Structure 1
Amino acid sequence: MSHTPDRRDDAAESGPAELSTPAAAEPESTTDAETAGAQTEAAEEQTETAVAQKETAETESGPVGAEKKKKKKRKRDEAARLEQARQEAVAQAEADRLRREKERSPVSRLREYLNPRRHPVVVTMTALCVTALVAMSVLAWLFTDRDTRLSDLQRLDRDKAAAEKVAGDYAAAAATLSYQDLPGWAETLKRGTASELSSRFDTAVKTVTPLFQEVQWSQTGTLIAATTVDVRADRQFVVQVFVDTKLTSTQNPSGLNIITPYTITLDRDENWLITDVADIAGVAQDGSIGAGVPDLTGTGGQGDRSGGQGTEQPAPTP
């Protein structure tokens, strides 16, 4: 009976010590368990892999595996045959092309070589060059046309100036005469004129010679202006000329000034040959009707000289 308390006391004393020992060893037990679990899983995976490999080997070695191998081999053989056929077709096409190339004539080969589809870059460059050439040609034509028109205008101005010079000189010379030298005046009238006009002047001078000698007619012409008024057929120039004429006679010894207009036609292509001359009755500076160069066509009449006191009549004009 006396030993029982002692045991309880020993148990009470040893109790806390025994309880503290498992608590301290618990982490080490947990780590060992995890390691064991991982090893178990790895072993299971290895086992499954081995089983799968075994099944695959059995499958391939069996009837099903042999059939798959045959199918794969047939596919490889078919692909090889298709590739070989393709290569043979390409080679045959190349051979046919070379054969046709040899069989074609030089003209055909040249035509094929010049086919625009074979040289797109060259065709594009050629088109650009042609376009530029056309544009330059159009510009050149425009400039040439402008130069031509300008040249035509300049030539026309030169022709007009030449016609006016010839017509003015002729009119001033034709308006100058003296009753003492009528043959010289006749030569002046015919100088530079057409043959038909010259013959008319011969007839007219013969007609007016008695009148001029009777009244002692003399006159001097001075050019005022000459202007081209018409151009016919690009060669016939019609020039209007105005001449200041001072005439004297026995009836007008102090002289009379008149302005006489002439219409003179010249042919440029005949070196400015005068083909027609027409004059209009002059107007005296005092406002009265005067007389210019007499009518050279022989249509005019002579003045009335009755009683020996005849008044000088203006010479008729065309």
Structure 2
Amino acid sequence: MSNTGASNTGPSNTGPSNIGVTEQEPAVSAPTATATEAGSRGPWWSSVRALAVVTVLAVVAAVTFGMLWATDDSAEQLQALQSRLDTEAEAEAVASDYALNVSEVDFRDLDAWRAALTDGVSGQLAPKLEGAVDVVAPWLTQMEYIADARLLAAEVASNDGDTFVVQVFVDMISKSKQTPDGVAATATYTVTMDRASDWTITDVGGVGTGLPGGAGEPEPAPAPADGGR
């Protein structure tokens, strides 16, 4: 009877040993599954990353080239604009100086006014302006006319090649026997110039406006008498 109890005790130790082996099987198989998943993802992910890098580099290159092209084009446009503005400013300065000088009138020195009218003008225009002085001078002397001027504005109205037309606005204060306290008026001049001949003035409009005697546009020089031929 005592031997039978001993033999029953032996087999009971075998059960716990089998249970321990079964619990260790999932721990052995888990690393194998992870290695398989990483191996199958590796090549696909590398391809995606390579494609992304190539795309980014292409975009950067395109943007850089576009910026360089735009910068070069903008520089040329800016240079052309600056050149045009400089030329227009020069034309406006010449026209403004002329308009101011011819707006300064003093009946005691009409020769100075005559010189101002013909300064910088073409040979074809000078006789017409001198004729205007001859027409207006008697009224200026009789009324003791004096005028001071101040520049208001000047602007290029049109441009065709080397021909520039500038409008000049001058504020004039004139005094005479009839208006000893002075009268304010705005004179508008249209000055046409040729840049190719160093800004020679080829035509002027507005000279004499508001002067005594009803002078408006410059009158042409009178035709010579038959005896003067």
Specify if TM > 0.5.
Answer: yes
Deviations 1:105-128 (A, max 9, x none): xxxxxxxxxxxxxxxxxxxxxxxx
Amino acid corresponding to residue 171 of structure 1 in structure 2:
A
Which is greater in Rg? Answer: 1
Q: Does 1:193 align with 2:114?
A: no
Q: Counterparts in 2 of 1:115-126, with a 5 A limit?
A: none
Cα distance in 1 for partners of 2:188, 2:113 equals: 19
Partner of 1:155: 83
Partner of 1:248: 175
Equivalent residue in structure 1 for 2:196, among 235, 257, 269: 269
Q: Does 1:260 align with 2:187?
A: yes
Rate the CA distance shift 1:270–1:142 in 2: closer, same or farther, 3 A: farther
Q: Work out whether residues 193 and 275 of structure 1, in 8 Å CA contact, stay in contact via their aligned partners in 2.
A: yes
Q: Does 1:230 align with 2:158?
A: yes
Cα distance in 1 for partners of 2:126, 2:105 equals: 17
Q: Work out whether residues 245 and 292 of structure 1, in 8 Å CA contact, stay in contact via their aligned partners in 2.
A: no
Deviant stretches of 4+, over 4 Å:
139-146
Rate the CA distance shift 1:281–1:194 in 2: closer, same or farther, 3 A: closer
Q: What root-mean-square deviation, in Å, do the aligned CA atoms of Structure 1 and Structure 2 show?
A: 2.6
Q: Which moved more, 1:141-150 or 1:246-255?
A: 141-150
Q: Does 1:298 align with 2:219?
A: yes
Partner of 1:170: 98
Q: Work out whether residues 201 and 296 of structure 1, in 8 Å CA contact, stay in contact via their aligned partners in 2.
A: no
Q: Which runs of 5+ in 2 are unaligned?
A: 1-64, 221-229
Q: Does 1:220 align with 2:141?
A: no
Q: Counterparts in 2 of 1:17-166, with a 5 A limit?
A: 146-166=74-94
Partner of 2:44: none
Tell me, what secondary structure is at the counterpart of 2:82? helix
Q: Work out whether residues 171 and 262 of structure 1, in 8 Å CA contact, stay in contact via their aligned partners in 2.
A: yes
Partner of 2:58: none
Higher relative contact order (CA 8 A, sep 6+): 2
Amino acid corresponding to residue 126 of structure 2 in structure 1:
S
Structure 1 residue 149: deviation in Å?
A: 3.2
Structure 1 residue 140: deviation in Å?
A: 9.1
Amino acid corresponding to residue 249 of structure 1 in structure 2:
S
Amino acid corresponding to residue 241 of structure 1 in structure 2:
V
Structure 1 residue 187: deviation in Å?
A: 0.4
Cα distance in 1 for partners of 2:164, 2:89 equals: 11
Amino acid corresponding to residue 226 of structure 1 in structure 2:
A
TM-score, scaled to structure 2: 0.60
Rate the CA distance shift 1:260–1:292 in 2: closer, same or farther, 3 A: farther
Deviations 1:174-221 (A, max 9, x none): 100111111111001111111111111111111111111111111111
Structure 1 residue 243: deviation in Å?
A: 0.3
Cα distance in 2 for partners of 1:247, 1:192 equals: 25
Identity %: 31
Amino acid corresponding to residue 133 of structure 2 in structure 1:
V
Structure 1 residue 143: deviation in Å?
A: 6.4
* Aligned positions, number: 154
Amino acid corresponding to residue 203 of structure 2 in structure 1:
D
Q: Work out whether residues 193 and 274 of structure 1, in 8 Å CA contact, stay in contact via their aligned partners in 2.
A: yes
Cα distance in 2 for partners of 1:292, 1:243 equals: 14
Tell me, what secondary structure is at the counterpart of 2:124? helix
Structure 1 residue 281: deviation in Å?
A: 8.6
TM-score, scaled to structure 1: 0.44
